[in-house]
Structure 1
Amino acid sequence: MTLISSILGFSAFGFGARCFQLGLQHRPIFDAPTGHLIASGAFGVIGYGAFYADKKQTALLAEKKKILLERREKENLEWQANKGQQAHAV
């Protein structure tokens, strides 16, 4: 997901949530647009943060996967070496 789509998606959700809130209160939906701007802006900021949190978590998971694969390869080499020694001992 790109940065723009994250921000716009969260902003649209904030706008929809604000319209839903006003609808539940039986108030005119488009009477005061400042509330819509505040809700859209706040949710846009949340979308911005979610994008970079996802990016950071993806990088951390890739690093962790690299470490685990290196460790697995090392353990496989040690297992193969021990397996060869046991065959000679028998």
Structure 2
Amino acid sequence: MSMLANILGFSLFGLAARFGQLGIQKRNLFENLGGHALAMGVFGYGGYMAYKWDQTASVLIAKKKDEIAESRKLRLAKVEALEARLMAENEEH
């Protein structure tokens, strides 16, 4: 998902939350437009932070997958070496 779509989606959710808040209070929806802009800005910033966290998390996950793959290769090499040594010992006896 692109950053712009994420920010806009969260901003629209903030606007909907503001409308819901005013609806519950039975106040005029278009009375204070600064409150709408503030809600949209705060939620938009939340969307930006969510996007940044998603990017950081994907890098961390890829790094961890590489570490796990390398660990598995090393473990497999150790097991194969041990297996070869045991087979050699069995052939001697």
TM range, smaller chain: over 0.9
Question: What is the DSSP-based 3-state SS (H/G/I as helix, E as strand, rest coil) of the residue aligned with 2:28?
Answer: coil
Q: CA deviation at 1:29?
A: 1.0
Amino acid at match of 2:55: K
Extract unaligned runs of 5+ from structure 2. none
1:70 aligns with: 70
Distance 1:4 1:10 in 2: 10
1:35 aligns with: 35
1:17 aligns with: 17
Mark the structure with the bigger radius of gyration.
2
Q: Give the superposed CA RMSD.
A: 0.8
Extract unaligned runs of 5+ from structure 1. none
Number of aligned residue pairs: give it: 90
Identity of aligned residues (%): 37
1:25-68 Cα distance to aligned partner (Å, 9 max, x none): 01011222111100001100111111011101110111111011
Amino acid at match of 1:49: M
Distance 2:30 2:73 in 1: 62
Task: State TM-score, norm by structure 2.
Answer: 0.93
1:87 aligns with: 87
Task: State TM-score, norm by structure 1.
Answer: 0.96
